[in-house]
A and B are shown apart, each in its own frame.
Chain A
Amino acid sequence: MCYIIPSFSTLTGVISRNGALIGALMLSACAAAPLPEGTNDPFEDRNRQIHAFNVGVDKALLRPAATTYDSVLPEPLEQGIANFAANLDGPGDVLNNLLQGRPGPALENTLRFALNTTVGIGGLFDPATALGVDGDPTDFGETLHIWGAPEGSYAEVPFIGPTVERDLVGTLVDVAMNPLRFVLPKPESSYATAAKLASRLGDRSRYSETVDSILYDSADSYAQTRLLYLQNRRFELGQTVGEDNFEDPYEDIYAD
């Protein structure tokens, strides 16, 4: 789950369009979402501008900050912060599992959160993975998908990056309904936010080569980012099981 609060003014357009969507969802839950195909990007021009802005933010802020973060912090501490930040997603994951009607993953995520919070000293360590309790991360975007919401159009959001309308609504709902928001008192909740931000820097440095190759080495980083997000997200949601998404380059040749 993403903790970065987006700048709302730029999102209002997308959200107002999705207001109707959410309303419809509440009424007609559990209809199967249609399998998305190709790219649905009617706002490409605007998305490309936002992408250019995000690349600028990465170049000027995120990338240098991540490099510094990685060089200053000793590896075990960095790992501890990453574990702590990941563990904070536990309660939200369980809530989503319940909304999805998936008791199995709900139990596994509960067990994982309980183990890591207690034995793992507040989540700094990850004994659950060592014990084979891998957990099953989820988000409200997936819940919407299970309820039958279509993917919607592709969007790039300032500071957040690639998403689709369904997942953008999911991100906002996840931030709003995160159980920890209602449980953690004042100073602790800011530690949680700080850990989330720090863990993002850690991710940026850990996946530095991958992110750099997409943002700076590719001929069209916007198109590559979009492709990567859509294909990976559909895979996560189990939407690539249909054989229609596979391509056969031989067909093309023999069709000539």
Chain B
Amino acid sequence: MRIDAAPLRLTRRGFAVAMAGAFAASLPIPAQALTVDQARGLIDKAVADVNRIISSGKSEQAMFGDFEKVFAKYADVPVIARSALGPAARTATSAQLSAFTKAYQGYISRKYGRRFREFIGGSIEVTDAKPIKTYFEVISVARLQGEAPFDLRWHVSDKSGRNLFFNIIIEGVNMLASERAEIGALLDKRKGNIDTLIADLKKI
């Protein structure tokens, strides 16, 4: 068992790329403008924020709030929410979709925030980035205390007009697919009633 508590380090170049990424992320940019370095820079920055939160020593409740901010800042929440809702997103009204997106953002921050607690004392390091079809895959390795390092991948796109990630893949397990199965099951239990689902998501 290895223990690697080395904090995430941004190299000088990585830092410059992260700054470039941050700048690019703040501007609406034309399609095809996203580069491998920018995609990597975005995740470098997101990872730095996550590492800062898990080493902050704040209360769990406060960390959930911080995670929600990171998620809202770096992830394409509307597209993730829409994908999680699956076929039901096609029949939902736009008011329902935006209410669902808002409720879903809190729900997913609490859910994954709880999991990120396991990262305390560990570190995430971005190792590579490459284009896939119409988006980019940023590859990182997570080193947790007493665990073998594992593979963590982020899919980044600029289709929303900003550089944002829309999927996380942990050792091959795809967040979008897992979320779609879960939200689909929650919706089935409520006989397909989106309004009940939205109300309940705030409590889960």
Contact = CB atoms under 8 A, between A and B. Distances in A.
Q: Do A and B bind each other?
A: yes
Interface of A: 79, 83, 126, 129-130, 134, 209-210, 213, 218-220, 223-224, 227-228, 231-236, 240, 243, 246-254, 256
A79 B1 contact: yes
Contact of B173 (A130, A218, A228): A228
A231 B171 CA distance: 8
Interface string B1-12: 110000000000
A231 B135 contact: no
A249 B166 contact: yes
Given A218-B182, A252-B83, A243 B133 contact: yes
A227 to B, nearest CB: 6
Contacts of A233: 172
B181 interface: yes
15 contacts: A134-B148, A209-B118, A210-B118, A220-B182, A220-B184, A224-B182, A227-B177, A231-B173, A231-B174, A231-B177, A232-B172, A235-B171, A248-B134, A250-B159, A252-B83
B115 A213 contact: yes
Output the residue of B83, B134, B173 with the most chain A CB within 10 A.
B173
A232 B135 contact: no
A253 B82 contact: yes
B172 A250 contact: no
B83 to A, nearest CB: 4
Nearest to A214: B178
Nearest to B2: A129
B13 to A, nearest CB: 27
Nearest to A254: B159
Nearest to A246: B132
A236 B148 CA distance: 14
Contacts of B178: 224, 227-228
B167 A247 contact: yes
Interface string B58-74: 00000000000000000
Which range holds the interface residue count of chain B? Answer: 35 or more
Contact of B79 (A210, A220, A224, A250): A250
A219 B83 contact: no
Interface string B178-193: 1001101110010000
B38 interface: no
Nearest to B80: A249
A249 B1 contact: no
Contacts of A249: 79-80, 82-83, 166-167, 176
Contacts of A251: 134
Given A223-B185, A248-B135, A249-B167, 9 more contacts: A79-B1, A209-B115, A220-B181, A223-B182, A234-B172, A240-B172, A248-B157, A249-B79, A252-B82
Interface in B110-159: 114-115, 118, 132-135, 137, 148, 151, 155, 157, 159
B90 interface: yes
Contacts of A236: 171-172
Nearest to A234: B172
Contacts of B90: 256
Contact of B133 (A227, A232, A248): A248
Contacts of B174: 231, 247
A218 B176 CA distance: 15
Output the residue of A213, A249, A256 with the most chain B CB within 10 A.
A249
A227 B173 contact: yes
Contacts of B189: 219
A219 B80 contact: no
Given A231-B174, A248-B134, A250-B159, A223 B115 contact: no
